[in-house]
Amino acid sequence: MKKVVFISLSLALCSNLAFANENTPLTTQSSLCLFNGTPSVEFKTIKKIKVGKGTYGGFTDLYPRLHEVADKYQANAVINYTVSQRFGFWPWRIVRPVGMGTMVKINTAFDCKALGGTAI
């Protein structure tokens, strides 16, 4: 009987801990600018980026992951950004969205739309 009570309490405690961070909001920067080409402003190249979704979906599903990686490296723009549908490994993951580009830091104030970019 003691084992049953112990196991029940342990499962109840573990189930509460498993969802402890579920409602924690993600802190992301206000916007990230995506450029298909190279903008006509000075920038500092940080790192190449490649993000993908594990299963099928749209390209907008990549935006949260792009923000997460850009925040990590303090980038405010991605240049030469391309998206495509790629084949996955498993048969039920027929195609998946993948985005690639180069993260950059633009030090001057800039208007994303005026430079031909897309703010996300």
- The answer to whether residue 7 scores a pLDDT higher than 80 is no
| Number of structural domains the chain divides into | 1
- Distance in angstroms (rounded) separating the CA atoms of residues 9 and 49: 45
Residue 10 lies in a domain: no
Query: Which domain CATH number covers 90?
Result: 3.30.110.70
Say what the pTM is.
0.70
Percent of the chain with pLDDT over 70: 71
Residue 11 lies in a domain: no
Residue 72 lies in a domain: yes
Residue 21 lies in a domain: no
- Distance in angstroms (rounded) separating the CA atoms of residues 51 and 69: 9
Residue 45 lies in a domain: yes
Structural domain that includes position 70: 29-119
Residue 41 lies in a domain: yes
Residue 9 lies in a domain: no
Alpha-helix residue ranges (DSSP H) falling in the chain: 2-18, 63-73
- Distance in angstroms (rounded) separating the CA atoms of residues 84 and 74: 25
Residue 18 lies in a domain: no
**Chain segment 77-110, per-residue pLDDT in tens:** 999 999 998 886 766 657 889 999 999 999 999 9
